[in-house]
């Protein structure tokens, strides 16, 4: 096996025979009900299969067993009917055939050199972390949407870039390695193989020659290069920051791994301790990240989430002089800075609160209060930031015994320590105004601290405190400054002017955004390209010519027992020399980069994955960027998407990219919930049916065959008086409701799964899975198959046939462009209904364009039927049908003709035909004439375009 982790072409292991580079794959006949055929299709002019793979070379050289490692068992999923493959049409052979053809002919490969005079379309999925569980049916939803757009744009004459890769570093693989002794490279390779196999089985038109993974040294060489540029620009730095240290596990934990002060894994005590960590100065780009949101075609909800995360606040910095209590050891000129967005309420500041980790806490604590303060600080160190800032938690705190001086009143106010203030936000200290802030008010009430009203409503009405709205200043006068009677904005300006004049503060803009903690004490991540010369704690970068710095070989992935990564116990790797002189002993940085690092820029590497001179080929970047459509989950709104925007702006400043933003249009697909679960309730003592929530009611799981729909709810089929609970839940192994796409493909085919996931509802909405729904779209595809089964004719289509076709072209084109795939599919269903019901022939000119409309949605069956229509080549690059608007103009209409209210026939008349002409045409119909019997019409009811009712005497 090659030293690379995956010894195969980027397209993955082929299930068909191998070919010579550039050779074409002849189309084979489908054995089930398909006409035999041959093809003279030549090779696509894209050259040989690329030999790209994603592995990390030196660190993974020993992983030879990966070729024989079996994929993990897939989670089970509910089966429909008997779980056997449907026999409605031969999808199994059709899909295998066309997937082999696409792969071996590299049908979807985008050439390295494209005709730049053509429009481009870069459509991108958020690349997955390849977990051992493989895909569930939620994954293909977004992937199908992007694939439809990619296939559609190829047919509309665009150069299309549609790649896929792997976010392959990460904690899960390392945890599995610790538990089992399996190298992370082995599990990662196995999982990637499974994911790739599943994606190919769904017929996605990815250019697999551009496959990348964050674990490939040739990839993370450039991740390390980007870090070095950040380091050189002063955007990467080290700082003492509080981390979650678990002594029992011997590792640093992320905030989400700590619950109630204990480790999620094992329930061990966790303490907060300061640790020197690498940080990225994302705050330096806060204003640009905020302002440029207005230029993006993103959902408003996502942009609002980023705005709130960045959290721009305009206010003032205020200096409070400190006065030590009895016995406190505090310098005479000590002061503390606070930031406030409401400087107009400065007269209402009745106490100060410092974060437990604030450096002045120990000096402010008086001997009498010191034991309580130290105990409180220790307790706070065992809580995560999330626990400390939870809105519903009871406020806690302790007085230091010292005081601060309100700069406008000269009054001494007590200084407290409380964990709802974080040292990482602002200055780690706040001025508390309990009359006009909810959290401060709750704290003041809890500890009987003074509450002052310094703002009242503009209309002078009485209000309960805290009053948090703008108004008019009141009770805000001193010898230094008077605000009484000023509106909120005017009062703010007056306070800021006074603070600046008196040297006690200034106008300030703050951001809630914190600098990015960019280090993990783990093995399975990108090494930092830095060393520390002996006797120095200043980091020195290694030369760019020595990149990539690869992970060392090891069988020990366990934490080191100290707040360092497992790399720290590999002397042969850690011990090196200062690259500046080549002789001075030095020590490598032993932390690794977080999983976010590789995902910040992967969209650029897809553009030129084997370019060796830079992270992206400049000419190709100018053509392909920005990404035209990016599809992924909304859960990445404020981490991945914000980090990627930050790195992209840094690269823009460096001249490495030409666009200010990476992703022009963003769409977040909705979640797919598990099938509806039906539950009845029985009394635990009597066994009689009961109501949900009744005392002693025990849930009983029911099948859909046991329930009926009634009104807005469900009832027991055997007893309609018994109400049944019907709920859909998020898919999870614990609930046993995970749907494995492999099972759906085996039973109904990839085209049915693709079509169903798009037909469920709008792409952005949350939807409920239904296996019966899959069966429904599968029956539709079977009807398409039968529609073409007798072949197509070369006779001229009728005007009505062409009108139905062009109505469908217009609808499908519009809905595809706007990502309203469900209504586009509905239009195609209407076409099939009309053609099946009303057409006596199958004219080629009306049938073949329909296949082109269907192809992006259900590509396998469309390719097969296209070939059966006599075409030698794939339809992938066939021109998209153009709508003829003239055919959409309706100049005649078919009316139902009634006699005395009963339908007796139909008549075709002009849309503007007068009533007399319509009646005459109706009476010319033999059946209508029979029932009118030549009698005089008593009354004519005519609704143009709808109906004609002729009223005649009964006798």
Candidates 386, 399, 375, 12; CA nearest to 193 is 12
Pairing of strands 335-340, 902-910: unpaired
Give the pLDDT confidence score for residue 49 in this predicted structure.
24
Res 955: pLDDT:
66
> Which positions of the chain have pLDDT values less than 70?
1-82, 254-256, 386, 391-392, 560, 955
User: Does residue 54 contact residue 218 with C-beta atoms inside 8 Å?
Assistant: no
Q: In what order do the strands lie in the sheet with 540-541?
A: 540-541, 530-533, 585-588, 575-577
**487: preceding bond cis by omega (within 30 degrees):** no
DSSP 127-180: PPP--TT---TTHHHHHHHHHHHHHHHHHTT-EEE---EE---SHHHHHHHHHH
> Which residues pair with residue 165 across a beta bridge?
212
Radius of gyration over every alpha carbon of the chain, rounded to an integer in angstroms: 35
The DSSP code for 484 is T
pLDDT of 267 reads 86
Per-residue CA distances from 125 to 602, 622, 668, 762 (Å) = 11, 20, 10, 18
Asked if the domains 227-307+516-595 and 890-951 are classified in one and the same CATH topology, the answer is no
Q: Return the SS3 of 703.
A: coil
Domain ranges of the chain: 227-307+516-595, 312-511, 675-726, 742-887, 890-951
CA 785 to CA 246: how far, in whole Å? 61
Q: How far is residue 871's CA from residue 650's CA, in Å, rounded to a whole number? A: 50
Q: Is 468 exposed, middle or buried (0-12, 13-18, 19+ CB in 10 A)?
A: middle
Pairing type for strands 713-716 and 719-727 reads: antiparallel
- From 778, 849, 761, 770, select the one nearest 809 (Cα to Cα): 849
How buried is 298 (Cβ within 10 angstroms: 0-12 exposed, 13-18 middle, 19+ buried)? buried
What is the pLDDT at residue 239? 92
For the beta carbon of residue 782, count every other beta carbon within 10 angstroms. Answer: 17
Question: In this predicted model, what pLDDT tens digit does every residue of 898-922 receive, in sequence order?
Answer: 999 999 999 989 888 899 999 999 9
What is d(CA 905, CA 902) in angstroms, rounded to the nearest whole number? 9
**Residue 433 contacts residue 389 (beta carbons within 8 Å):** no
Query: What's residue 255's pLDDT?
Result: 66
Alpha helices (H) along 416-561? 438-447, 488-502
SS3 779: helix
Predicted local confidence at residue 634, as pLDDT:
86
Helix (H), strand (E) at residue 807: helix 799-817
Q: What is the DSSP string of 430-462?
A: EEE-TTS-HHHHHHHHHHT------EE-TT---
Q: How far apart are CA 875 and CA 752, in angstroms?
A: 19
What is the Cα–Cα distance from 303 to 299, expressed in whole angstroms? Answer: 6
What CATH number has the domain spanning 890-951?
Answer: 3.10.20.590
- What is 312-511's CATH number, 3.60.15.10, 3.90.740.10, 2.60.40.1220, 3.40.50.300? 3.90.740.10
> What's the DSSP call for residue 295?
G
Structural contact between residues 519 and 591, judged by C-beta atoms closer than 8 angstroms: yes
Tell me if the bond preceding 20 is cis, omega within 30° of 0. Answer: no
Q: CA-to-CA distance for 271 and 402, rounded, in angstroms?
A: 27
- Paired residues of 200 in beta bridges: none
Tens-digit pLDDT profile for residues 720-733: 999 999 999 888 87
**CATH top-level class of 742-887:** mainly alpha
pLDDT of residue 888: 87
Fold classified for 227-307+516-595: Rossmann fold (3.40.50)
Q: Which residue has the tokens 């493909």?
A: 745
DSSP 86: P
Cβ neighbors of 604 (< 8 A, separation 6 or more) are: 615, 616, 621, 625, 651, 657, 662
Element (H, E) at 722: strand 719-727
Q: Return the pLDDT at 871.
A: 96
Q: Residue 754 and residue 91: Cα distance in Å, rounded?
A: 13
The whole-number pLDDT of residue 820 equals: 96
The confidence score (pLDDT) of residue 143 equals 97
């Amino acid at each position: 096996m090659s030293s690379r982790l995956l010894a195969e072409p980027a397209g993955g292991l082929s299930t068909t025979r191998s070919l010579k580079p550039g050779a074409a794959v002849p189309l084979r006949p489908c054995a089930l009900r398909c006409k035999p055929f041959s093809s003279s299709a030549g090779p696509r002019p894209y050259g040989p299969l690329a030999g790209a793979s994603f592995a990390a070379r030196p660190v993974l050289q020993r992983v030879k067993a990966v070729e024989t490692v079996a994929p993990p068992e897939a989670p089970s999923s509910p089966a429909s009917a008997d779980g056997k493959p449907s026999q409605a049409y031969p999808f199994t052979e059709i899909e295998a055939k066309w997937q082999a053809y696409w792969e071996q002919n590299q049908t979807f490969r985008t050439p390295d050199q494209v005709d730049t005079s053509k429009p481009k379309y870069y459509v991108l999925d958020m690349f997955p972390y390849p977990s051992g569980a493989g895909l569930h049916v939620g994954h293909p939803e977004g992937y199908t949407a992007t694939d439809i757009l990619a296939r559609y744009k190829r047919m509309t004459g665009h150069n299309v870039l549609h790649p896929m890769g792997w976010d392959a570093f990460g904690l899960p693989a390392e945890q599995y390695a610790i538990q089992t002794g399996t190298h992370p490279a082995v599990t990662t390779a196995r999982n990637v193989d499974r994911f790739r196999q599943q994606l190919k089985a769904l017929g996605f038109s990815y250019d697999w020659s551009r496959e990348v993974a964050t674990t490939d040294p040739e990839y993370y060489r450039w991740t390390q290069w980007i870090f070095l540029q950040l380091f050189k620009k002063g955007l990467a730095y080290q700082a003492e920051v509080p981390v979650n240290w678990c002594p029992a596990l011997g590792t640093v934990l992320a905030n989400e791994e700590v619950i109630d002060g204990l480790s999620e894994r094992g329930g061990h005590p966790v303490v907060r301790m300061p640790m020197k960590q690498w940080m990225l100065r994302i705050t330096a780009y806060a204003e640009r990240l905020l302002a440029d949101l207005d230029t993006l075609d993103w959902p408003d909800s996502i942009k609002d989430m980023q705005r709130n995360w960045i959290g721009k606040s305009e206010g003032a910095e205020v200096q409070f002089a400190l006065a030590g209590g009895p016995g406190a050891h505090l310098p005479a000129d000590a002061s503390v800075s606070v930031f406030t967005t409401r400087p107009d309420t400065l007269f209402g500041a009745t106490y100060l609160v410092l974060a437990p980790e604030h450096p002045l806490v120990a000096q402010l604590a008086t001997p009498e209060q010191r034991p309580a303060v130290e105990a409180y600080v220790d307790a706070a160190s065992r809580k995560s930031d999330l626990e400390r800032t939870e809105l519903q938690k009871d406020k806690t705190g302790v007085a230091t015994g010292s005081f601060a001086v309100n700069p406008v009143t000269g009054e001494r106010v007590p200084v407290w320590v409380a964990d709802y203030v974080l040292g990482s936000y602002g200055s780690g200290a706040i001025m508390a105004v309990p009359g006009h802030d909810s959290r401060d008010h709750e704290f003041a009430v809890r500890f009987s601290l003074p509450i002052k009203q310094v703002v009242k409503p503009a209309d002078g009405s009485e209000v309960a405190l805290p009053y948090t709205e703008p108004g008019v200043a009141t009770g805000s006068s001193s010898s230094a400054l008077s605000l009484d009677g000023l509106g909120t904005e005017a009062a703010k300006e007056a306070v800021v002017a006074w603070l600046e004049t008196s040297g006690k503060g200034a106008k300030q803009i703050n951001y809630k955004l914190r600098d990015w903690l960019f280090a993990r004490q783990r093995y399975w991540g990108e090494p930092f390209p830095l060393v520390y010369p002996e006797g120095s704690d200043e980091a020195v970068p290694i030369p760019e010519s020595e990149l990539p710095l690869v992970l060392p070989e090891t069988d020990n992935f366990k934490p080191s027992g100290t707040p360092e990564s497992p790399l720290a116990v590999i002397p042969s790797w850690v011990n090196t020399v200062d690259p500046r002189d080549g002789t001075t002993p030095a020590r490598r940085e032993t932390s690794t980069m977080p999983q976010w690092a590789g995902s910040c820029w992967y969209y650029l590497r897809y553009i030129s994955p084997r370019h060796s001179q830079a992270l992206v080929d400049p000419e190709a970047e100018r053509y392909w960027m920005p990404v035209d459509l990016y599809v992924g989950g909304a859960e990445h709104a404020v981490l991945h998407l914000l980090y990627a925007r930050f790195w992209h702006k840094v690269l823009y400043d460096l001249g490495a990219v030409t666009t200010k933003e990476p992703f022009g249009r963003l769409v977040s697909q909705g979640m797919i919930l598990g099938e509806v679960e039906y539950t009845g309730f029985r009394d635990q003592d009597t066994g009689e049916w009961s109501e949900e929530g009744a005392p002693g009611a025990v849930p009983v799981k029911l099948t859909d065959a046991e329930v009926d729909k009634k009104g807005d709810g469900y009832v027991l089929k055997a007893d309609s008086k018994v109400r049944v609970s019907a709920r859909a839940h998020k898919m999870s192994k614990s609930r046993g409701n995970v749907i494995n796409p492999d099972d759906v493909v085996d039973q109904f085919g990839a085209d049915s799964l693709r079509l169903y996931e798009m037909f469920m509802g709008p792409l952005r909405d949350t939807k409920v899975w239904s296996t019966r729904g899959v069966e429904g779209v599968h029956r539709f595809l079977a009807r398409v198959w039968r529609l073409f089964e007798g072949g197509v004719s070369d006779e001229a289509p009728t005007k009505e046939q062409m009108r139905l076709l062009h109505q469908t072209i217009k609808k499908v084109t519009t809905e595809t462009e706007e990502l309203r795939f469900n209504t586009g599919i509905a239009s195609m269903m209407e076409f099939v209904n009309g053609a099946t019901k009303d057409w006596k022939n199958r004219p080629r000119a009306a049938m073949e364009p329909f296949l082109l409309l269907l192809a992006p949605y259900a590509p396998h069956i469309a390719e097969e039927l296209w070939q059966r229509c006599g075409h030698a080549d794939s339809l992938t690059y066939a021109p998209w049908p153009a709508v003829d608007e003239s055919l959409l103009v309706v100049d005649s209409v078919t009316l139902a003709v009634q006699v005395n209210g009963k339908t007796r026939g139909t008549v075709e008349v002009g849309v503007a035909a007068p009533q007399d002409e319509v009646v005459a045409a109706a009476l010319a119909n033999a059946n209508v004439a029979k029932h009118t019997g030549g009698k005089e019409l008593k009354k004519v009811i005519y609704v143009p375009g709808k109906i004609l009712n002729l009223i005649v005497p009964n006798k």
